[in-house]
Amino acid sequence: MDNLVTMYRTMCLIRRYEDQLAEIYTEGKTPLFSIAAGTIPGEMHLAAGQEPVAVGVISHLKQDDVVTAPHRPHHFAIAKGVDLRLMTAEIFGRRTGLSRGKGGHMHLFDPQTHFSCSGIVGAGFPPAVGAALAFSRQGRDNVAVAFAGEGAANQGTFHESLNLAALWKVPVVFVIEDNHYAISVPKEQSTAVAHNSDRAQAYGIPGVYVAGNDVLAISEAAEEAINRARQGQGPTLLEIETTRLYGHFQGDAEAYLHAGEKESWRQLDPIARFRSYLLEHHTLSEDEDQTIQREVEERVEDAVKFARESLEPDVGEAYRDVFVES
């Protein structure tokens, strides 16, 4: 019961965070939409609508389990417990950020929670397999989870990683987050099979498809896959259907969507559905919900305030942590 409310709270925190970033992102960029200018420099890929994937899976992980995530990373980072202040400062390009403001929103690295992400599509699969190989060699019961979009399942790294993970039977779970599009390209135009989970057969591992963007169904499938991995039974591929409620990036005109497509996704908002479920089952009261909304509001405000008040890095910082010719 408590666990369900915790999951709901985390989903609400993610949504509030993403909505807040969407608003702040436009600061200083208009009227000509200059991507490099403003409070948040660089591109911005938001994951509102995809909260069930992160929360349903990561709620079964421990602090020292490893998560690798893609260029759309905030929901995974928040679910894994990355410090909201440090993460926000990183996104704002401030010196107090996780990587002293040099990574930005697609490059959040947090040794504390064993979380990382990358702007290179498909880059998270091999390091997850590497972490899983280390866990099995060290005799630890940890698990690594690699999250990526359905577009990333057509990268070589996906197939190479599934092959080695299956061969070595290491404790890794691959999660394909299918939001139907890779930028503007629908899956049907890029992928030879209807379901990425079918690709698991080629590597002799279980492949599970979870429809409906439903946090409880996702949680159930993830629990089984993570337990298998923890018990030494090797990798699983999960394909999870989801929907993104913003564009591919902030500023995306979304001309590729069909009429009414976005509205139909909004009507199936996974947080609203989960909230109704919890209220109906008396797991959550209206009062508790209001308290949660206040709490998440405060947490987001606090993180944004911290980031706004932090300084930008010194120019000399550009030469730190990089290879320079002597």
Ligand X SMILES: Cc1ncc(C[n+]2csc(CCOP(=O)(O)OP(=O)(O)O)c2C)c(N)n1
Q: E strands, the chain, where?
A: 66-69, 109-110, 115-117, 144-149, 172-178, 181-182, 185-186, 207-210, 236-241
Q: E strands, 72-229, where?
A: 109-110, 115-117, 144-149, 172-178, 181-182, 185-186, 207-210
102 φ, ψ (degrees, to nearest 5): -100, -10
CA distance 52 to 148: 14
Which positions from 172 through 191 interact with Mg ion, judged by CB under 5 A? 179, 182
CB 254 within 8 A of CB 262: yes
Integer angstrom CA distances of residue 307 from 21, 70, 94, 95, 255: 12, 23, 7, 9, 33
State yes or no: residue 248 binds ligand X (CB under 6 A): yes
Residue 7 binds what, of ligand X, Mg ion, none (CB under 5 to 8 Å, by partner type)? none
State yes or no: residue 121 binds ligand X (CB under 6 A): yes
Cβ distance to ligand X smaller for residue 66 or 148: 148
Cβ distance to Mg ion smaller for residue 8 or 174: 174
Which long-range contacts link 320-325 to residues 24+ away (Cβ below 8 Å)?
A: 320/100, 321/102
State yes or no: residue 108 binds ligand X (CB under 6 A): no
State yes or no: residue 149 binds Mg ion (CB under 5 A): yes
Among 18, 150, 239, 241, binds ligand X (CB under 6 A): 150
Residue 272 binds what, of ligand X, Mg ion, none (CB under 5 to 8 Å, by partner type)? none
Q: Rounded to a whole number, what is the distance in angstroms from the first to the last CA of the chain? A: 59
State yes or no: residue 179 binds ligand X (CB under 6 A): yes
State yes or no: residue 15 binds ligand X (CB under 6 A): no
Among 183, 193, 268, 311, binds ligand X (CB under 6 A): 183
In whole angstroms, the minimum distance from the beta carbon of 120 to Mg ion comes to 15
State yes or no: residue 46 binds ligand X (CB under 6 A): no
Q: Three-state SS for 127?
A: helix
State yes or no: residue 120 binds ligand X (CB under 6 A): yes
Cβ distance to ligand X smaller for residue 241 or 278: 241
State yes or no: residue 181 binds ligand X (CB under 6 A): yes
Which residues make up the interface to Mg ion (CB under 5 A)? 149-151, 179, 182
Which residues make up the interface to ligand X (CB under 6 A)? 70-72, 119-121, 148-152, 179, 181-183, 248
